[in-house]
Amino acid sequence: MSTLKFKTNINCDGCVARVTPLLNGDKQITKWAVDTTNPMKILTIETSSLSEEQIISALKKVGFKGEPIN
């Protein structure tokens, strides 16, 4: 299990609602959360096998950006 963190443009509850079906629907994602109070809008994902690139690509499909934080 790995924990990946991304700087995003997921700004509000409406944005979170738009990404929820995508993130909840992926069985490789165990847990996720977005800190919309943080200026970098940090998305944290626990996954068994997804890569940073796969998550960034999925976010783009629903209109959001993700930049890995190491």
Q: What's the pLDDT at 62? A: 95
Pair 16, 39: CB distance under 8 Å: no
Pair 61, 21: CB distance under 8 Å: no
Q: Structure pTM? A: 0.94
Q: What's the pLDDT at 68? A: 97
Residue range 13-58, pLDDT digits in tens = 999 999 999 999 999 999 999 999 999 999 999 999 999 999 999 9
Can you give the C-alpha Rg of the chain in angstroms?
11
Q: Give the model's confidence band at 70: pLDDT under 50 very low, under 70 low, under 90 confident, else very high.
A: confident
How far, in Å, CA of 31 to CA of 1, rounded? Answer: 11
Domain ranges of the chain: 2-69
DSSP per-residue letters across 29-67: EEEEEEETTSTT-EEEEEESS--HHHHHHHHHHTT--EE
Tell me if the domain spanning 2-69 has CATH number 3.30.56.10: no
Please check the confidence at residue 4 and state whether its pLDDT lies above 90.
yes
